[in-house]
Structures are given as C-alpha cells and as structure tokens.
Structure 1
Amino acid sequence: MQPKNTIDLFKEIFDSHQEYNGTVIEQHIQKLRELDVYLPPMESFFIVTNTTKQIYEFVSKNFEYALGLERELMNTMGAPYWFSHFHPDDLPIWMGVLEELMVFTMTEVPREERSKLNYTWNFRVRNSKGNYVNILEHQTPTYFDAAGKPVIGIAHCSIVGKDEQRPIIATIKKLNNNNEYETLYYKNHSQKLLEDNLSNREQDIIRLLALNNTSKQIGEKLFISSHTVDVHRKNILKKLDFDSVQELIQHCLVNQFF
C-alpha cells in the first residue's frame, strides 16, 4: 500500500517551499496538476535542482517509493549520485540537450520572460532493482543568476515506461497571457520521427487535444480562431497519417507528448 505521506506531491512541495505561493511557479505547477490524469501520481516526484552547486535542495518523499533510490544521498552527494543512475547511452545526449536549451534561452528569450518558461525532456534511469525506467521531466526555473541564466529549478518527474529505448525529445514552452503553454522550441535529439514535421503551433494543438480541449477552447487559450484550430487539426492528421483525432490523441497519450 502506498504511504499516505507520499500521495499529495503538490502539497509537499508547497509546504517545503512556501515562497512559491502566489508566484508564477504556482501557475506552472497548476499546469502539472492538469496532467494528473495521465501521469501516474504514485510514480512521480519533485526535485529542486541547483545547477551552480550541483545539489538537490529538495527531493520529495515519493522519490524513494518510485525508484527505490536514497533521498539522503541525493541531498548529500547531489548530481554525481543522480547521474550515476542515468543510462550510459542517454547521459551524453541529455547533457547536450541541456546545453542547447540554455543557448536557446539566453539568445532567443527576453530576460523578463524567462520565468514563464517550462522545459521538458526524457531519459532513462536505473532503479534500486537494477532496471532502467523512462523518466519524463518538466522543469521550471525558479532562480536566475546575474546574467539571467536559470540556475535553480523545480523538476516534476514521472516514470512513463520501462526499459524501452525512446527518442530523447526536448521542448521549451512559455506561459501566455491565458496561462497556457505555447511551444517555442521542439527537437528530437535521437532518431527522426513523424512528429518532427510538425510546427510549434501544431505541437501545442496536439497537447491541448490530448487534454480534452475542444477547438473553441484551444482557440481561446492560444488566441486564434476555432476555424484556424480545425485547419491545423486536419493538417496534423494528414502529416501523421491518422484517420481520426481519437487515433491522434491515443498516440499522444501512449508517447507522452506533453
């Protein structure tokens, strides 16, 4: 049976970091709540990362339940302990992903808008049983250095598969004035996929369709007409060679395109 104190991940992170209340971080975390129905809560956990010090300032209790790894070693050993569990094929790709995302952030996103960003990527880690599992991570920056570079962030991680090799895909999304994400960057850092032919706008529409939004709702969230959404939907189906939106949505859910 799942321990009671690991159920409400969101309450735990706000209890530990009350400074997030009433900030843009709360808006980002609300977006994660919307994914609750799709991301298994008992296999999810929060980590607060400090890239400057290479430590983890907070690791939620569910980390041990989900992976069987030690929170204490995450706190004391930091990045060397966590990275030692990454799949050796994924780690160098993932490091390259982080570098490219930071270059994009520092050159393409105005400094005043960087707190609205959310980064998503995936990788495999080895659990306490010696088995690799796939992790989907959503990270939001919470603190920036003097140059405006994100150095502390809150990461929401979920186990979304077993040891199957998946392409490492990275995205950068930004909250718009409706508190909805719009894609700024999307790249498959492994083999090519059909999804690579989609525009950033089409990626947003796929994500919102998977979250059960109608064309009208999507249009309102993205400040476009429902007619434009419908045109995008038809183009997406054609590009991905699907016959129906239901088939598209199922594909999104299985592959965790969030």
Structure 2
Amino acid sequence: MRPPGGFPIVCHCLLLETPRGLCLVDTGFGIGEAAFGALPGYYRPLIRPVLSDAEAAHAQVTALGYDPRDVRDIVVTHLDADHAGGLRDFPWARVHLHAREHAAATRPATSADKGRYRAKQWAHGVDWMTYDDRGGETLFGLSAIRPLCGLPDLALVPLAGHSRGHSGVAVDTGSGWLLHAGDAYWFHGEVASPPHCPRTLALTQRMIATDHRERLENLARLRELPAEVRVFSAHDPRELDLAVS
C-alpha cells in the first residue's frame, strides 16, 4: 500500500504448520480484490493498494508448494479490510479472533464501526471461534488467551486501541516466541529506544485508532518485551524483509 507521505506499507501474514494442518495469521487482501468491491470508496485513491492476485495469501501458499485446502485455521489480529480480505479464499477454515473484535465487526454499534468493517468479506459464512479475556494468563509480561481451540502453540495477546478487539498473535516455535503484533504499530522505530515514527504514519494511526491512549499504552508494553521474543508488525516492510532474508 502507498499512502501519502512516501512510506509504503505491506500486509505481513504468517503461515504456520500445526498438527491440524496449515494456519494463517491474517490474510491480507484476497484474490480478485480489485473487482470484488468490498473496499470503502476512499480506500483505493487514498491508500493506493497494489491489488495483485499473485501476492494474495492463497497464491502465496500455492507458490510455497502447499495445498491451500490444507489451511484449516486462520487467526486474525483484527478484521480491517487489509487483514480479512483473504477470508473468502479459504471458506472452509475456522477463523479465530477476540470476541470484542467479532462483535464490533458483525454487530457494529457506531457509525465509525459501520464504516470500518466490510461484511462482504465474510458474507460467504465463517466458522468463527471467538475468545474473551476470561481464564487468560500472563505471557512474557502481557495478558494472553491460550490455548486456542486445536492450536496449543498459539495465543491471542489483547492489544486493543487500533480497533476494539485488536490482538497480537503469539506463536511458540519450539525455539522461541514470535509475536505478530498486527497494527499495534506500523513502523519499526515505534518499538525502538528511544521510540520514533514518521509524522505522517503517526498521525494516520492516531486518526484511525478507536482508542489512541489505549494503543499507546499497549505499544509501551511491547517495548518492554524480553529480547527473546521476536516481535513484528503487519505493515512495516523492513520487518518483512528481515523475516524473509
């Protein structure tokens, strides 16, 4: 995506092998997104996404030599259009998310929520698996919800602020933890010491956050993570480059 300000942003998804089959963390945009018509009217001229079918998760799974039908589970950090567009490409998959995010997207109570979420992206019918904070535990100093149903090595880490039920997704790889922080931040400098972020990106994040103060509080918690936790965001191209290098 190429929003104003000269800072391109990506849709950083994660593909995992689990005992149940393959699992996606976020989906990015879907196949045929340009013609599907689910994006808000302002989205394409302002955010300027490159809607390439070859970059969609379904095509990427195939390119890696896997069968997309083996994607049995999808864990979403939240249901914004650039994170949930690919849900329709895996209609057989269970979709795991925080209960507050599910409620905000499927039963929007405010005009902002009604404009934010695109119900067309899950109109095919989804096997939702929702989780609330009851019975949670602490994971490297953060509240966590685990295990997810059938996915014992994954946890939802509530990081609300960007959206009402926004969560990070923690993955126990067996040799350390990965934390997909979703849209908790957009620029790697935000979790650096001292933190820094280009002004245009900082302003955009503030404008679209449901609770800016809560987002900043959760961002401060991410800065305190131990070094053995590898944290990355959904949108920083530098972090994506490091992941695949």
Which of 1 and 2 has higher RCO (CA within 8 Å, sep 6+)? 2
Q: TM-score, normalised by structure 1?
A: 0.33
Q: Which has the higher helix share?
A: 1
Larger gyration radius, structure 1 or structure 2: 1
Q: TM-score, normalised by structure 2?
A: 0.34
